[in-house]
């Protein structure tokens, strides 16, 4: 029987610490180095469509195919499905809401990368964009370390206030106030450049995940130590390529950092940037974990009584 993972069910099933652990393991798996198939296209009107496949990880007898439609003016802005299939028979094991799967896996993977790359003493955090993605990233970052102060800015001030009581006017003000900045916007022009950051800061840019979207300027990316999740994707449709840079602008991947083959920080480039695009295996890692939890006897009883 196919398990249906609705948005509310996904939120109930997510165990932040467990998902962070499986994402960390996933970054070291061979699948993290396999070229993913990511197809994006514009739609008539304001939206775009994306397909990511296949989501594969060693030891998991299943794969995922995800289709998304992105409409910046909608709530949620991302809609679609993640299909979890048996690896041997192709049977549809689960059908999951892609909005919630994507926000959780992207947010928690971003939290992991941010934690690994930010200076150990960094304890002030700012968000540029305060939607669902920011909330998931904040949940992961609060699990990984303590934060003395969290600030945010958003085009919708009320949305920023729902994330934190400390609301600032814009991205420049956020960067001037904190050690770590996470950008989660739909921007198509740079929100920060090299003059707006200082040595020791870390920036994570999540908005530049398809052609045309950009949050950090080319001069900032050139002077920072940039870590990505996939070199080819970052240069083709991520933060680097959208700023006119190629893969050589990146110091390496988060896989290199997790494996310990690449230092997270150096004195030569004191500002670090994590610029992921998002990889299909992350959809599998999360959806498989939720599928397993949903099939436990205790969870089935809870869901029936809910």
Q: Name the pTM for this structure.
A: 0.93
Question: Residue 222, Cβ neighbours under 10 Å: how many?
Answer: 14
**Residue written as token pair 């994590």:** 274
With vertex at residue 153, the alpha carbon angle to CA 151 and CA 155, rounded to the nearest 5 degrees, is 160
pLDDT for res 30: 84
pLDDT above 90 (res 106):
yes
pLDDT for res 304: 45
pLDDT, one tens digit per residue, over 44-90 is 988 999 999 999 999 999 999 999 999 988 888 889 999 999 999 99
Question: Rounded mean pLDDT of 22-29?
Answer: 94
pLDDT above 90 (res 2):
yes
Question: Rounded mean pLDDT of 8-17?
Answer: 96
Contact between 77 and 70 under an 8 Å Cβ cutoff? The reply is yes
Average pLDDT, the chain: 94
pLDDT band at 298 (very low <50, low <70, confident <90, very high): low
Structural tokens at position 141 = 């970052």
Top pLDDT among 128 and 301 is at: 128
pLDDT for res 31: 72
pLDDT for res 246: 97
Coil, helix or strand at residue 156? coil
Closest CA to 282 of 22, 18, 16, 95: 22
pLDDT for res 301: 45
pLDDT, one tens digit per residue, over 247-286 is 999 999 999 999 999 999 999 899 999 999 999 999 999 9
Coil, helix or strand at residue 89? coil
Q: Please provide the distance, in angstroms rounded to a whole number, between the alpha carbons at the two ends of the chain.
A: 20
pLDDT band at 231 (very low <50, low <70, confident <90, very high): very high
pLDDT band at 305 (very low <50, low <70, confident <90, very high): very low
pLDDT for res 7: 95
């Amino acid at each position: 029987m196919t398990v249906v993972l609705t948005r509310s069910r996904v939120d109930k099933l997510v165990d932040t610490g467990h998902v962070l652990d499986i994402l960390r393991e996933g970054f070291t798996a061979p699948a993290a180095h396999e070229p993913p198939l990511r197809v994006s296209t514009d739609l008539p009107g304001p939206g775009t469509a994306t397909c990511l496949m296949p989501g594969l990880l060693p030891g998991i007898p299943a794969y995922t195919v995800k289709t998304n439609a992105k409409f910046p003016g909608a709530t949620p802005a991302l809609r679609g499905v993640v299909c979890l299939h048996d690896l041997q028979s192709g049977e549809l094991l689960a059908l999951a809401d892609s909005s919630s799967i994507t926000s959780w896996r992207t947010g928690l993977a971003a939290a992991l990368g941010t934690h690994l790359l930010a200076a150990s003493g960094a304890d002030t955090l700012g968000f540029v964009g305060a939607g669902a993605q920011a909330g998931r990233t904040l949940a992961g970052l609060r699990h990984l370390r303590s934060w003395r102060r969290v600030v945010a800015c958003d085009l919708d001030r009320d949305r920023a206030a729902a994330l934190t009581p400390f609301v600032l006017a814009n991205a420049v003000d956020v960067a001037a106030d904190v050690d770590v900045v996470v950008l989660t916007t739909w921007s198509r022009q740079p929100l920060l450049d090299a003059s707006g950051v200082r040595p020791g800061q870390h920036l994570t840019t999540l908005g530049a995940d398809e052609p045309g979207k950009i949050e950090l300027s080319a001069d900032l990316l050139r002077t920072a130590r940039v870590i990505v999740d996939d070199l080819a994707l970052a240069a083709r449709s991520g933060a680097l390529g959208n700023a006119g840079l190629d893969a050589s602008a990146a110091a390496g991947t988060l896989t290199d950092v997790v494996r310990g083959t690449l230092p997270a920080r150096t004195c030569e480039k004191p500002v670090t940037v994590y610029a992921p695009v998002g990889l299909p295996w992350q959809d599998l890692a999360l959806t498989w974990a939720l599928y397993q939890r949903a099939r436990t006897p205790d969870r089935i009883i809870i869901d029936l009584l809910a």
